[in-house]
């Protein structure tokens, strides 16, 4: 196996499940998310990506994609059920999102989580060159830093948590809390989306493991583990350039015509997940239709809800409820040729997504809890004419940066309705002032600034190529 100076370790490989006719794979780019963030950084860079290719059985041999070496980790059906759907997404995911749904605990799931994390650690150890950097991603792989340190003490190991890290009273519920914290502490640098998450982690380490901890560093034996906030970003320039392309502009105009040229278009783009606040948003919209504050002919809501983790029971139930709710609202308020809600559950390609951003007068991003939410940042980056209103949940990590958005508490139905009306009725001057400020922030805090901040902190020896640790 060829070794690389930088290895990214994530649950999934960043490739489409299907091959092109010429045998090549392409990057899998979903709205927001890890792949969209790292894609511009790793192309044509001497890097490797360790992850699961999808499906069960032996790991396939994969070609390089845009110069990035792909190392596939095999998962069995039991691994998929007990590690991914079980411990990762039915124990950790709900707990880390404020127990919006009740976490489940099963010993079999924990055993699978350990087994799969060991497999990922071994694959990363094989892929990294001596003294290299390994960047482990997210809650699926919290044990990997500690396991990898045992296998390869020569490596610099980073860990980044994309989701929120919960307050101590929630995390303390976990039967395996000490092991999870210890696994993360195998890293040299642990990054979180927000400073509050780093604070929560430091408190827990001191309480559960009894080691000296501050919001910036933790002493583990003879090592010092640094921690901090590194809010993830988007490729602002790439999104803006795509939004300005004639093809996207024409597609946006056609979409608006297809919608009947309404006065206002509201857009929401989410994974189908109970943390995203889709039901609450639809309920608020229905009440605005019922009160007459919003009229179907004048205003259109487009809800993109991409199916995700279909085998997780709560998401199956949610999908059925959302589709029933959409059908009910369209039945009550829609007309022939004029549905109240245009609902899409299939993935949307990059060009189509940016065209949707361009026609959205209001972008409604109202998760109940979210580590960051890059869709909100992508929308701002796509508004190249400084128009468009962002309605944003206070409980999305992006709210700490995009302070000029129309901020709402998605748990408060009346507040959500009033926030939506405020965004719909805002004056052009108010909208432009807010959007200009948010776009300026994203220009200075884009994906390159994020990568430079994190990787420079991790790469104390200066072994990475300069293009990864500079903004150029």
CA-wise closest residue to 136 among 145, 123, 146: 145
Q: How far apart are CA 390 and CA 319, in angstroms?
A: 25
Q: Catalytic annotation on 22? A: no
Q: Quick check: 409 and 416 in contact, CB under 8 A?
A: yes
- Please pick, among 83, 140, 162, 199, the residue that the annotation labels catalytic: 162
Q: Quick check: 199 and 187 in contact, CB under 8 A?
A: no
Q: How open is the CA angle 129-131-135, to the nearest 5 degrees? A: 80
138: which residues sit within 8 A by CB, 6+ positions away? 10, 11, 34, 160, 161, 162, 163
Q: How far apart are CA 65 and CA 450, in angstroms?
A: 23
CA-wise closest residue to 10 among 44, 40, 54, 43: 54
Q: Quick check: 373 and 367 in contact, CB under 8 A?
A: yes
CA-wise closest residue to 320 among 345, 300, 291: 345
- Extract the tokens encoding 463: 């072994």
For 270, 290, 292, the CA distances from 362, given in Å and listed in that order, are 15, 20, 18
Token look-up 């279909």 returns 310
Q: What is the bridge-based pairing of β-strands 189-192 and 156-160? A: parallel
Cα Rg of the chain, angstroms = 22
Q: How far apart are CA 215 and CA 196, in angstroms?
A: 9
- Extract the tokens encoding 350: 């990059």
Q: How far apart are CA 139 and CA 159, in angstroms?
A: 10
Q: Catalytic annotation on 44? A: no
Four-point Cα dihedral 98, 100, 106, 112, nearest 10: -70
245: which residues sit within 8 A by CB, 6+ positions away? none
Q: How open is the CA angle 117-312-100, to the nearest 5 degrees? A: 95
- Please pick, among 79, 138, 273, 370, the residue that the annotation labels catalytic: 370
- Extract the tokens encoding 311: 């085998």
CA-wise closest residue to 144 among 129, 128, 165, 158: 158
Q: How far apart are CA 140 and CA 121, in angstroms?
A: 12
Give the active site residues: 162, 370
């Amino acid at each position: 196996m060829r070794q690389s100076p930088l290895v990214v370790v994530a649950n999934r490989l960043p490739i489409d499940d299907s091959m092109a006719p010429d045998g090549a794979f392409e990057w899998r780019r979903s709205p927001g998310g890890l792949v969209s963030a790292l894609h511009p950084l790793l192309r044509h860079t001497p890097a490797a990506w360790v992850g699961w290719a999808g499906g069960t059985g032996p790991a396939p041999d994969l070609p390089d994609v845009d110069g990035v070496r792909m190392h596939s980790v095999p998962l069995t059906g039991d691994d998929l059920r007990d590690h991914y759907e079980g411990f990762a997404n039915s124990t950790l995911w709900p707990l880390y999102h404020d127990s919006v749904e009740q976490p489940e605990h099963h010993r079999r799931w924990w055993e699978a989580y350990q087994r799969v994390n060991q497999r990922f650690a071994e694959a990363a150890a094989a892929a990294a060159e001596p003294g290299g950097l390994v960047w482990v991603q997210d809650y699926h792989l919290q044990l990997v830093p500690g396991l990898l340190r045992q296998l390869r003490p020569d490596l610099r190991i980073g860990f980044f948590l994309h989701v929120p890290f919960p307050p101590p009273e929630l995390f303390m519920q976990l039967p395996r809390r000490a092991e999870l914290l210890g696994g993360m502490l195998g890293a040299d640098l642990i990054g979180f989306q927000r400073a509050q998450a780093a604070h929560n982690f430091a408190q827990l380490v001191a309480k559960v493991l009894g080691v000296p901890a501050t919001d910036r560093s933790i002493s583990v034996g003879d090592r010092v583990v640094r921690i901090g906030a590194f809010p993830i970003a988007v490729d602002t320039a790439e999104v803006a350039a795509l939004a300005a392309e004639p093809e996207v502009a024409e597609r946006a105009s056609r979409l608006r015509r297809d919608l009947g040229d309404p006065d206002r278009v509201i857009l929401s783009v989410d994974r189908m997940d109970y943390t995203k606040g889709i039901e609450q948003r639809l309920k608020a919209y229905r009440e605005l239709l019922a009160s007459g504050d919003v009229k179907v002919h004048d205003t259109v809501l487009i809800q993109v809800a991409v199916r995700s983790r279909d085998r997780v029971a709560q998401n199956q139930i949610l999908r059925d409820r959302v589709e029933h709710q959409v059908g009910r609202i369209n039945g009550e308020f829609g007309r022939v040729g004029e549905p109240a809600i245009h609902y899409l559950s299939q993935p949307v390609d990059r060009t189509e997504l940016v065209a949707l951003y361009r026609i959205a007068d209001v972008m409604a991003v109202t998760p109940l809890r979210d580590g960051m939410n890059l869709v909100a940042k992508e929308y701002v980056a796509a508004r190249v004419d400084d128009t468009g209103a962002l309605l944003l949940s206070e409980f999305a990590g992006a709210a700490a940066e995009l302070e000029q958005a129309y901020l709402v508490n998605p748990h408060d139905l009346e507040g959500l309705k009033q926030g939506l009306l405020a965004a719909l009725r805002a004056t052009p001057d108010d909208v432009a002032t807010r959007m200009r400020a948010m776009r300026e922030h994203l220009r200075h805090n884009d994906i390159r600034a994020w990568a430079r901040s994190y990787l420079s902190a991790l790469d104390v020896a200066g072994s990475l190529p300069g293009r990864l640790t500079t903004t150029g």
